[in-house]
Amino acid sequence: MKSISRRKFVNQSLKATAFTIVGTQLATTETLANNFTPDGLQFSQIALPYSTNALEPNIDALTMEIHYGKHHAAYIKNVNEAIAIEKIPYSNEKDFFSNISKLSSKARNNGGGAWNHNFFWQIMTPESSAPTGKVAEALNGSFGSFQKFKELFAQAAMTRFGSGWAWLVKDGNSLKIGSTPNQDNPMMDISDFKGTPLLALDVWEHAYYLKYQNKRNEYVANWWNVVNWNEVSKRLG
């Protein structure tokens, strides 16, 4: 080997290398197809609708990078693993969550983590403005005023002990505010707080600790600056 010049060696190796790479890719695809039921439910991570520094200074870039790139990515990988290994039969998210009490804690925690974060990224924007139209009317109708709604929602976020989420949900014709522990969400049969999610706030320390440390109240207060009320409006229907 050492008697062959580097360039010559590289040239001679090119074809073999190309075949090796293709072979590896095929094997990987086949492995995936075998392990992950192709017609069953699969969670996938949405593309972030803005850059990781777009929500600065309210949410810092490093937090977004780790939160999206590490925490959320891991929930996605792990829930798909649980679906494959446990042969979870549900073909859509609604059935998955409404039967979550029958599934493992791995499926519950990572399934919630996968869905909740996909939702969370979408209901934020660097171009936030106050709610208008039917959302404003619905908030006023259910909570008295936008200000009162914000107070109640912040209270839900602040009183969630440990890790969890604060939610605004639609339940029939009314709106409700509440919270869930860990990665539970209001679509889970196991949850005390139920409804169709309209807005969510991640109050896990990983969502704010790098910038805000123990000051969850400041994180919550600044988060209003990045809420995407257009997305809330779409979900209100």
Residues that bind Mn ion (CB under 5 A): 202, 204, 207
User: Least distance in Å: CB of 228 to Mn ion?
Assistant: 17
Nearer of residues 115 and 204 to Mn ion, judged by Cβ: 204
Which residue lies nearer to Mn ion by CB, 184 or 202? Answer: 202
CB 177 within 8 A of CB 152: yes
Q: Which is nearer to Mn ion, 204 or 223 (CB)?
A: 204
Q: Report, in Å, the least distance between residue 4 CB and Mn ion.
A: 52
Report the C-alpha gap between 204 and 182 in whole angstroms.
Answer: 8
Residue (177 or 207) nearer to Mn ion, CB:
207
CB of 113 to Mn ion, least distance (A): 7
Nearest approach, Cβ of 212 to Mn ion (angstroms)? 14
Name which of 207 and 227 has its Cβ closer to Mn ion. Answer: 207
172, 225, 234, 144: CA torsion to nearest 10: 30
Nearest-approach distance from CB 112 to Mn ion, in angstroms: 10
Task: Dump the DSSP string for the chain.
Answer: -TTS-HHHHHHHHHHHHHHHHHHHHHHHHHHHHHHS-TTS----PPPPSS-TTTTTTTS-HHHHHHIIIIIIHHHHHHHHHHHHHTT----SHHHHHHTGGGS-HHHHHHHHHHHHHHHHHHTB-SS-----HHHHHHHHHHHSSHHHHHHHHHHHHHHS-SSEEEEEEEETTEEEEEEEETT--TTSTT-SS-SEEEEEEE-SGGGTHHHHTT-HHHHHHHHGGGB-HHHHHHHH-
For Mn ion, the closer of residues 135 and 227 by Cβ is 227
CB of 204 to Mn ion, least distance (A): 5
